[in-house]
Structure formats: structure tokens, C-alpha cells
Amino acid sequence: MPEPVIASVGASPIGRTDLPGRDLFSIALAEAFDGLPDPAELVEAVYVGNQSESYEHQIMHGTLLAEWAGLRHVPAERVEGCAAAGALALRHAVKDVRNGDHEAVLACGVEKMTSAGTSGATDALSAAFDRAIEQRSGVTAPSQYALLAQRYLHETDATERDLAEIAVKNHANAARNPRAQFPKEIDVDTVLESNPVASPLKLYDCAPVGDGAAAVLVTSAELAEDLGRPQVRVAGSGASANNIAVAERDMTDIAGARIAAETAYEEAGIDADAVDIAEVHDAFTVCEALLAEAAGFAPSEMGYQSYLDPAKRADGWTDVRLSPSGGLKARGHPIGATGLLQALEAYEQLTGAAGDRAVEGADTALLLNEGGVADAVTVGHVLTTAEGAR
């Protein structure tokens, strides 16, 4: 059975831009294929993560981006899972290579969120909620996650200051990431004194709206070697869907994320303590705390300590470093591209291309990308160097 690897990555700038989605994709593609043969000479299939057609009034993203890459007559599909769309595209590409269906598959993601303005983005994101139970009430994404945060603060010893410290940590990481939307450090008071969004969440607890695209080339290990590219093994993959409505779930036990991570660990033949870095779906600061627990990095009710140095965390924590890219919070969250931006960060970390933000000695990474509210759908991937998870 062929071994799937990531052979190359690329991304557009992240943030507010006048460029349409196809041009953002072209920038990501150009970086991913710098020094490689033309995509038409390599790519045998395309998967595109895209959250909503409402931003640019555009469907058929598979065909559109295949055309924009110069590809004709290859399988090309849009993959949708709200904010998990990018990771789902990666998962499909990995399965195609592993099954021997294709030797080189392009997983990409794009979102042009700013074209719709704040109200348009809010409306597009609310389409991920249960229509009968939630949408008609006027509930928004921040208010949904505020319910999770309120419950988490009620059930644990965490405080609003702890959540603010997570934002501070992720901005510090983003300050060393040239790809970040907000590459600047902040302090706790900046977070705590920022405008309220939905109590207890404030402006700096929330990931920003932004535009962006990412491209990840998944190939067989043999082809990556022939191309002379640094490669990162996709050692494990898992996915899980929970109920779509938050009211029908345990708000502080992110079971779908736990199952997705455990499935990826089992496939990779590792435990949580083997993971050196993790890119998790911190759309809001409380998400990092909840996902640290779901992924098995932290004991129950202690995930909020993710901002602390590993030596200062409670017993039962692993030594994992979370969100070295700056996470969704500060690197940015162009919805359809987010899961692939996580893969890009892990690729750069594991191939020695992360620069000042590199986590020393890292050889194993976990990616957790969620869609809907919390674990309505979660996709997990374990990436390793050639020596990792053997």
C-alpha cells in the first residue's frame, strides 16, 4: 500500500484583500509548485475545501480551481464541512494516494470572507447551525461558543484571565510567523479590556474574519523522493461527526474531537504523549482549552493551562506545544483554507522551515480542524518526519 506524504505546501497572504478567491489560490499554488513540474504534469485529482458559496456567489470550486491550475479532465471536487472543509480535502487526498487511486493529489482550500462584510460572514457561518433548532433563534457563532465558555468556566477552575493568556500566547507565536494575519504581541490587559462580543468572550478571544488560500501536494513517498522534495508522512487520519445542534451535546466534553484524534493516533501507532506540536481549532480561546483535553494532552478540566510552559502545567499534561503558528486566533482563519494552513505549519515545523518559531526536536504533529460549533464535524491528522511514529 503506498505511503502518503506531503511533498509541498503553499499559501496566499491572509487577511483583507481585494483579490478574488481564484487569485488567492493562484498565489498558494505558485508557492507550492515552485521548483516542481507544472501541476498539469503531476496532479491527478483535486479536492477543494470551501465553506460557503455566498461570499463570491460561486459554486463548482473543484472545476474552477482545477481550471485555474491548468488541469483538464481530472477528478475535481469541492468538499464542504464548514470550517473543517480544508482538513476534509486533505483527508480525501491522503486516502486517494494510500488506496493507490492516484500518485499525486492536490488538496487546497480558499475563502473570500471579507467580500460579504461582517453581516454576510455572520449569516454564512450561521448556516452551519441546525436550521429548525438554532438558526431561527438568531444565534451567532460567537454566542454559541460563549455558551461553551460559560459552561467551561463554571465547571473548572479556569478564569477569563486564563482564556486571555491563551490569546496572548498565540499572538506571541504569530509574531514570529511571517504568514500570520496579526503578527504582533499583545498583553493580558489588551484582551480583558477589549470590547465584549458575547460574554465571557471579548474581541481578542475571537479569531478574525479574513481571506486566504492554501495548497498542499499529497503524493506517494516514492514520487516525493523522485521530485527531491522534503516529505512529511501522513501517518494517521481520523474524522467524526457529532450532533449539529449544541443543545443536544455535552458542551465541555468534545467527544467528536476526541474520537477523531484517537482514530488518527491508532492509525499512526502512537499515543498523545508522542505529539510534539499540535495545531488545534482555536476559533475562540476556549476551543484550545477544550481541544487540549479532547486530544489527550491535558487532564480533564485542565486544558486552560495550554499557555503555560510545559514544566509549569499540572500533572498529567504532556509536553506538547499548541498552535505554534499563532493558531486561528492570530495566524488567521480563512475558513476553507484553515485545515490546510494547519498542515502547512506542521510541514514547515517538521522539515526545519519554521524559522524563529521552530519547536526544537519536533518530529510528530497533530492537526485538529473542526466544522460547525465545536465537534459537529472534526478531522484529525498525525504528521511525522520519516523517523517519527515508526
Q: What is the pLDDT of residue 34?
A: 98
User: Helix (H, G, I), strand (E, B), or coil: what is residue 44?
Assistant: coil
Residue ranges of the domains in the chain?
Answer: 4-116+209-227
Q: What is the pLDDT of residue 387?
A: 63
Instruction: For residue 95, give the nearest of 237, 256, 232 by alpha carbon.
Output: 237
Q: What is the pLDDT of residue 390?
A: 47
Task: Give Dmax over CA atoms of the chain in angstroms.
Answer: 56
**Distance set, CA 92 to CA 78, 80, 89, 221 (Å):** 11, 12, 5, 17
Euclidean distance between CA atoms 303 and 378, whole angstroms: 18
Q: 103: which 3 cell numbers?
A: 500518485
Output the CATH code of domain 4-116+209-227: 3.40.47.10
Whether cis (ω within 30° of 0) applies to the bond prior to 4 is no
Q: What are phi and psi of 9, to 5 degrees?
A: -140, 160
The model carries a pTM of: 0.97
Euclidean distance between CA atoms 273 and 188, whole angstroms: 29
Per-residue pLDDT of the chain (390 residues; tens, 9 = 90+): 899 999 999 999 999 999 999 999 999 999 999 999 999 999 999 999 999 999 999 999 999 999 999 999 999 999 999 999 999 999 999 999 999 999 999 999 999 999 988 888 888 988 888 888 888 888 889 999 999 999 999 999 999 999 999 999 999 999 999 999 999 999 999 999 999 999 999 999 999 999 999 999 999 999 999 999 999 999 999 999 998 888 778 889 999 999 999 999 999 999 999 999 999 999 999 999 999 999 999 999 999 999 999 999 999 999 999 999 999 999 999 999 999 999 999 999 999 999 999 999 999 999 999 999 988 999 999 999 976 554
CB neighbours of residue 361 within 10 Å: 6
129-166 b/e with 16+ CB inside 10 Å = b? bbeeebeeeebbbbebbbbbbbebbeebebebebbbbb
Instruction: For residue 373, give the nearest of 117, 212, 164, 198 by alpha carbon.
Output: 198
Euclidean distance between CA atoms 257 and 267, whole angstroms: 15
Q: What is the pLDDT of residue 122?
A: 87
Q: What are phi and psi of 353, to 5 degrees?
A: -110, 15
